[in-house]
Amino acid sequence: MRLVFAGTPEVAVPALDALLASDRHEVVAVVTRPDAPAGRGRRLVASPVAQRAEEAGVEVLKPAKPSDPDFLARLAEIAPDCCPVVAYGALLRPGALEIPKHGWVNLHFSLLPAWRGAAPVQHAVLAGDEVTGASTFLIEQGLDSGPVFGVVTEEIRPADTSGELLTRLSHSGARLLAATMDGIADGSLHAVPQPADGVTLAPKINVEDARIDWAHPALRVDRLVRGCAPAPGAWTVFRGERLKLSGPVRLLTAEASLAPGEMAVAKNSVRVGTGSHEVELGEVQPQGKKPMRAADWARGVRIDSGERLGGDR
C-alpha cells in the first residue's frame, strides 16, 4: 500500500522505521506537528519523526491543523491507501479521515478499551496494572473508540517507569503496526468493534496531578513517582521550593517510625515516611539544578532532625 505516516515524538520513530523497512508498502509522505521551540535558546526544532523522514528522503507535511485546506488538498493529491498514526498529537476531522481508502489506523499504547486517551502508559502504571500492551484500531470520531485490528501484550515490571515501559511498547507496537498494514493490504485482517465493558480513560497528567501526598500509602507514592517519570515528573516541596523525584523510590518493609513526609538521613540514604511504610529516595532534582543522588542532596542542604517534605509551595 501507499502509506502516509502521521506521528510526532521519538516514541513514534520505531513504527516509522518498521514501515520504511517493509518491502510490501511505500511510505510516500509523513505528517507531523509543526516545528516547536526547544532548548535554552528556544529555537524552532523539527519533530523526531520529521527528522527521521527527512533522513529517509520522504516528503514531510507540517500543517498547523490537519483540517487546513492546503493540507487536505495535498493529501488527496498523494492519494494514500492508508494512513498509519502513532502519537501524532492533533485531532483528525472527517475531511481528513475520508481521504485514504483504508482510513487512518492508530497505534495506541493500551489494551483497548482500557485507558483511552492521551496518557495510557502513565495511567496503567499509576493504577498498578500488571499487564498492558498496544492496540491498532481504525480511527473514528470518538476518543480511541474505533474497531480494533490487533493487540500485543507487555508485562509491567515492578520497577518500570512510564518512560521505560513506553520504550518497550514503541518497539513491539511498531511490529504490530507493520503486521496490521500487511493484513489490511491482503484482506486477511478485519477490525472488530471494542467491547462496551471495561472502558477506562487516561487523560493527560498535568504538573499538579504529579504532586506527592506523603500521607498516601507507600505503594501509591511509588506508583506516582514511576508513572510520572520522565514527564511531568513527580514532585514535592522542601523549604518552600519544588523538589522533583527524578528516580523511583525504594519501598521499605520495616515498620514505619517516621511521620508522613518526615526524613531520616544516613550516609548513603534518605528515608521518608508515608501513610504506611517508609520509602527510600532515589534521585532528586532541586529547582534549577541537575538530578543527583538523594544522599548527596541531603548532605548539601543539611537537613534538620524532624524536617519534612510536602509543606507549602
Binding site, annotated residues: 110-113
Measured in whole angstroms, the distance separating CA 46 from the mean position of its chain's CA atoms is 19
Residues 245/186, Cβ–Cβ less than 8 Å: no
Residues annotated within a binding site for (6S)-5,6,7,8-tetrahydrofolate: 110-113
Are the C-beta atoms of 245 and 233 separated by less than 8 Å? yes
Nearest-CA neighbor of 169 among 206, 115, 133? Answer: 133
d(CA 98, CA 181): 18
Which strands, in side-by-side order, build the sheet including 241-245? 235-238, 241-245, 283-286, 292-293
123 is written with which cell numbers?
495511567
Amino acid letter for position 182 = D
Q: Are 18 and 174 in contact (CB under 8 A)?
A: yes
Amino acid at 269: S
Beta strands in the chain (DSSP E): 2-7, 26-31, 36-38, 43-45, 59-61, 83-86, 104-108, 131-138, 148-155, 235-238, 241-245, 250-251, 263-266, 269-272, 279-280, 283-286, 292-293
Q: Residue 304, SS3?
A: coil
* Degrees, nearest 5: CA angle 309-209-243: 30
* Alpha-carbon gap, residue 125 to 112, rounded angstroms: 16
